[in-house]
Amino acid sequence: MKKIKIAQFVDSFYPVIDGVARVVDNYAANLNSYDDVDCCVFCPEVKKNYKDDVPYDVIRTKSLPLLSDYRMPVPKLSKTPELVFREKKPDLVHAHSPFTLGHYGLSLARQHGVPFVTTFHSKYYDDFLLRTHSKFISEKLLNYIVRFYSQADSVWTVGASTAETLWSYGYKGKIVVMDSATGMTYPDHPEECRKLLAENYAIPKKGKNLLFVGRITNQKNLYFILDTLCCIRDKEIKLIIVGDGAELKALKQYAAKNGISDRVFFVGQIRDQHILKSFYLESDLVFFPSKYDTCTLVAREAAALKVPTIMIRGCNSADQIIENRNGFLCDEDPASAAAAIEKLFSSPETLKRIGQTASETIGTSWKDRMPEVLEKYREIIEEYSARK
């Protein structure tokens, strides 16, 4: 079979750790495990002392400082990206952002006569409204987003409700739902992982640990998590927060103001996947109440480690949850959420049973997901060639 060459384009990548970066990393790493696939990643340059340590080629474009640790790629300031693209001769371009590098990938795909695929990952209207505080400007920017997706040969989303979100923005075309997966696997010796954690972090032992993993931003609904903890009467229930971001200092102050600092453990960002795995194993329930995320890898990671997740009922990322079968749902009300969490912690057997079902239903590995991705890529390339 002919070797297939794929170029992934993303506006934010390592060392910044977010859901989209991890999706792109897993796509590239797992696709390159095939002998007949060559996958590379085009992304912004970062600090000079950072070195890419991944099993695929990473092509960094010129970039400028943006918000927090994010950067704005400016690929046209350097000839290198286009020269590398010409040298590699990709059969397909897959963009994971509708901004600078997404448009750059689209331009290169059109110049070189190859199909262009793009995945819709985020609720961009919410982002625009948060930063501009103007519905008028946000809607104008949304029109820009929709025009971008309308130019693609194939548009993917990470869930059915995410497809509904894109259609609600005004997109009229077809959408391929391509679920995400996880790189986490259940260890042969979980106790060794827990021992590693105990030796390096001062957190409570497994028993009544509630876990949040993600970027510390307003969009993740983190103050709701703390408000919920304030309503939990069982003081043995502890909250572990793994992540870093702009709201970290304010969140710590909020916990102190509400007298729950002794029950909240902020451990910062965890880059080592073995240590992150240990945090899941040392927890009994994951709390991910974000209404912003279109799909959360966190619930899939937790599921792979047999830990169930509780989410806000009706949010996009809860698509994968079948209530009381492979996860739990709650209302966006601190008292109601607290009551639900206390009830779950009072029944360890339920948490264990639902965690096991979650591992069987939503803990799909990237390795198992890739054949579906690769098959779709080949189908798109063949259809595009037939139209030329």
- Nearest to 124, CA basis, from 298, 301, 319, 316: 316
**Residue 16 vs residue 267, higher pLDDT:** 267
Looking at the structure, tell me whether residues 140 and 212 fall in a common domain: no
Angle at 315 between CA 327 and CA 246, to 5 degrees: 100
293-322: average pLDDT: 90
141-170: average pLDDT: 94
For residue 132, the tally of other CB atoms under 10 A from its CB is 13
| 266 DSSP β-pair partners | 241
- At 1, is the pLDDT very low, low, confident or very high (cuts 50, 70, 90)? low
**Residue 146 vs residue 197, higher pLDDT:** 146
Q: Are 311 and 288 in contact (CB under 8 A)?
A: yes
Tell me the per-residue pLDDT of 37-85, one tens digit each, with 9 for 90 and over.
999 999 999 877 889 999 999 999 999 887 666 788 999 888 999 999 9
Q: Is residue 281 part of a domain?
A: yes
- At 291, is the pLDDT very low, low, confident or very high (cuts 50, 70, 90)? confident
Please tell me the least confidently modeled range out of 85-94, 104-113, 126-135: 126-135
CA distance 236 to 263: 8
Q: Are 219 and 339 in contact (CB under 8 A)?
A: no
Looking at the structure, tell me whether residues 155 and 80 fall in a common domain: yes
Looking at the structure, tell me whether residues 213 and 71 fall in a common domain: no
Q: Is residue 143 part of a domain?
A: yes
Mean pLDDT of the chain: 93
370-375: average pLDDT: 96
In this prediction, residue 256 carries a pLDDT of 97
Question: Looking at the predicted structure, is the pLDDT value of residue 133 above 90?
Answer: no
Q: Which CATH number fits the domain that encloses residue 84?
A: 3.40.50.2000
Looking at the structure, tell me whether residues 25 and 160 fall in a common domain: yes
CA distance 317 to 326: 14
Question: Looking at the predicted structure, is the pLDDT value of residue 238 above 80?
Answer: yes
Question: Looking at the predicted structure, is the pLDDT value of residue 270 above 80?
Answer: yes
Which domain does 253 fall in, by range? 190-361
Tell me the per-residue pLDDT of 178-190, one tens digit each, with 9 for 90 and over.
998 998 999 988 8
Q: Is residue 185 part of a domain?
A: no
319-348: average pLDDT: 96
Looking at the structure, tell me whether residues 382 and 328 fall in a common domain: no
Cβ burial 191-208 (10 Å sphere, 16+ → b, else e): eebbebbeeebebbeeeb
Looking at the structure, tell me whether residues 375 and 297 fall in a common domain: no
Question: Looking at the predicted structure, is the pLDDT value of residue 22 above 70?
Answer: yes
In this prediction, residue 350 carries a pLDDT of 97
In this prediction, residue 30 carries a pLDDT of 97
What share of the chain has pLDDT > 70, as a percent? 99
Looking at the structure, tell me whether residues 49 and 118 fall in a common domain: yes
Looking at the structure, tell me whether residues 356 and 315 fall in a common domain: yes
Domain count, the chain: 2
Looking at the structure, tell me whether residues 248 and 326 fall in a common domain: yes
Q: Is residue 78 part of a domain?
A: yes
- At 305, is the pLDDT very low, low, confident or very high (cuts 50, 70, 90)? very high
Q: Is residue 300 part of a domain?
A: yes
- At 196, is the pLDDT very low, low, confident or very high (cuts 50, 70, 90)? confident
Looking at the structure, tell me whether residues 354 and 316 fall in a common domain: yes
In this prediction, residue 68 carries a pLDDT of 64
Looking at the structure, tell me whether residues 204 and 307 fall in a common domain: yes
Looking at the structure, tell me whether residues 302 and 371 fall in a common domain: no
pTM listed for this prediction: 0.88
